[in-house]
Chain A
């Protein structure tokens, strides 16, 4: 045992004379180099911000051209979208209404299911069950949207038409169901993280006082996790609003303000995707589609900022804020 420190001393004695002289010189160059490397990474960090800036720049550059001929008011509140008529109508109110309709209805489906799934995963399921089911929910999130669009179109639409004897199965309800499938994993996984983040001592204190697990859940865990769950819900809604392929294939494509969930609509992303391919580069219609892109961008960014605000403002800071 005593030999070990001795051996280290010998190594220590041998090493310095060889290394001292070159070390000082290398240290100077390496400090310069380190600063340079650091700068490269700072710039890489800012790359996402730069891309966001470029997205805004190019959307506006291509989209604002429309407003030399169409007023902002006529664009946002115009009730008719006839981009290929002569003279053309570029009113996107029906498109906004379509987007709102599918977003609201899909949330009505996805929020209870997503939150319920999170509550099951977080509070009811045993450890092993959770280890298997969490990846399953992640798999649901990775289903490509075009596949859901395909299923809605080929499988669900004919069934709906048969069951309820309606003119078309490509409608708000069908699109909302498919969008809900996309939003559920987002809502479930963020909510589950939030439930998990509630301090364990609070939960144990509640159980020790004789509350059942359900009472602990509704009075301690959910109040503590509500901001995280709210963030999840809003991000899920944002995802539903921005999703393209499902509404392109399943919502029916009629640019009208809907009066029932069995009617077809033409949400904002579907309009862009369906019409961009047939539009001459630089035409009025082309600019109008970019202007729709601006509206869609601002709407989803609004949702995301609200989600970021909620998660910051109501963030659980230990037990004291409960």
Chain B
């Protein structure tokens, strides 16, 4: 170090930090560029009719209402599956588990579940829910598959939220004579609720954007009207984009519809993420402990 003058050491520092800054700008430019490009090309397709009408003329005109509703059904179903299971698992991890072999196995299971590729979840859903449970290609099968896919997200966020509740809360409650379950139900869970909510919203966003898991378990190219039961197939926004962009004879002709659908999907998913991030930031600022 002594070989270099202070000035040259500061010069190399400035150089390195500038490189880091440029890298960050590149990453932001990628995000901004994609959002801007999709917005500019998609906004002209968006109209009240586009959002509320059904596709017409073999998908070349009309709206995407059934796809929006389909994505809504699938994500609501997914969160109904994942939220109770995920919060229960998080309660185990944060309130009941003690260090040791059991906990290591459970953590390894969750970590690996989080790393399973989405298309493998699709295969699994096809084999288990569509085939073995005879649900067929349906909203039910797709929701269950998506629910399992987002389970690790929900567990992770809920556990973090539970752990952030100060142990003095628990001690005060236990000290007053409440049982452990009463403490969890009346003290810990309410305090952790905003964090759990944030995690759920992120999970919903993830489920809404996934394509591969629903390709063989729930989604279909076109339905007449809206699905009438959980055992019906559905249209879904991500699958709609994929099909319009890759299949069929009108790929160029439906380009505006494709951009419009992408814009709707991005607005839904990023909107949800943004809401979650804002709730989290607010929570950190106003938290009283």
Contacts and interface: CB of A to CB of B under 8 A. Distances in A.
A54 B124 contact: yes
A45 B27 contact: no
A211 B4 CA distance: 12
Given A120-B24, A244-B119, A245-B242, A48 B179 contact: no
Interface string B261-289: 01001100110011001000100000000
B96 A38 contact: yes
Q: Which of B113, B117, B151, B266 has the most CB of A within 10 A?
A: B117
A322 interface: no
B92 A142 contact: no
Of the four ranges (under 10, 10 to 19, 20 to 34, 35 or more), the interface on chain B belongs to 35 or more
A181 B26 CA distance: 11
A97 interface: no
A212 interface: yes
Given A117-B24, A140-B31, A249-B242, A48 B152 contact: yes
B16 interface: yes
Contact of A135 (B211, B255, B277): B277
Given A140-B27, A290-B127, A49 B179 contact: no
Interface in A249-298: 249, 269, 272-273, 276-277, 281, 289-290, 293, 296-297
A51 B113 contact: yes
What DSSP secondary structure best describes chain A's contact surface?
A: helix
A208 interface: no
Contact of A215 (B9, B97, B106, B120): B9
Contacts of A137: 27
A38 B89 CA distance: 11
Nearest to A110: B27
Interface string A87-125: 000000000000000000000000011001101110111
Given A41-B91, A62-B127, A245-B211, A235 B115 contact: yes
Contacts of B131: 281
A267 B121 CA distance: 17
B245 A153 contact: yes
Contacts of A48: 89, 106, 109-110, 113, 151-152, 155
Given A153-B245, A277-B216, A142 B209 contact: yes
A33 B181 contact: yes
A293 B128 CA distance: 14
Contact of B151 (A51, A276, A289): A51
Interface in B4-31: 9-10, 12-13, 16-17, 19-21, 23-24, 26-28, 30-31
B20 A123 contact: yes
Interface string B115-153: 111111111101110011000000000000000100110
Interface stretch (A3-11, A72-80, A299-307): A299-307
A273 B126 CA distance: 12
B54 interface: no
B261 to A, nearest CB: 9
21 contacts: A30-B179, A38-B180, A41-B96, A59-B124, A116-B20, A136-B28, A143-B31, A144-B211, A144-B265, A145-B211, A153-B246, A212-B10, A212-B13, A215-B13, A244-B117, A245-B242, A272-B119, A272-B123, A277-B215, A293-B123, A303-B115
